[in-house]
Amino acid sequence: MIKSIHAFNTAQKFAVGNDLVHLPDFTTSFNDLFKKKVYTADEIAYCDGFDDSMLRYASTWAGKEAVYKAIKQLHLKPLGPKSIEIIRKKTAGQPQVVIHKEYPPLKISLTISHDGDYAWAVALIDTDL
């Protein structure tokens, strides 16, 4: 059965993942332990560079979750939150995804948005390289 699942997944040409974060709930549950376990040093520096750092942490979390959900459709290997890094080459720039684990090549497009009490992210992975 595992072989047939793997064969199905490798035949798939794309995968989509999304995540929605409710900012008040995220802010209530956010703590230093979560921050250290989930975010890389560069992500922390980026988020802390804004007056409203909680919005940036929530948006980055949504991005990580969207990428995780898309990747798990294609690969059975687990991927921890620090293995997925969301980087931006400039302040509030287009998010880029770096995978810090050995995986087959993936072309990942990520968009992150926020409005009011919500942050939302969508990841699209194109496996047809």
What are the extents of the domains in the chain?
2-126
Q: Identify the pLDDT of residue 13.
A: 80
Q: Running along the chain, 129 residues long, what does each successive block of 10 average in pLDDT?
A: 45 88 98 97 96 96 96 83 92 89 85 97 87
Distance CA 112, CA 64 (A): 10
Q: Identify the pLDDT of residue 74.
A: 84
Q: Identify the pLDDT of residue 125.
A: 93
Under CATH, domain 2-126 is a member of which superfamily? 4'-phosphopantetheinyl transferase domain (3.90.470.20)
Q: Tell me whether strands 14-22 and 84-88 are parallel, antiparallel or unpaired.
A: unpaired
Q: Identify the pLDDT of residue 1.
A: 36
One-letter amino acid at 80 equals G
Long-range contacts, 45-54 (Cβ 8 Å, 24+): 46/87, 46/88, 49/91, 54/23, 54/26, 54/27, 54/30
Q: Identify the pLDDT of residue 113.
A: 96
pTM here is 0.87
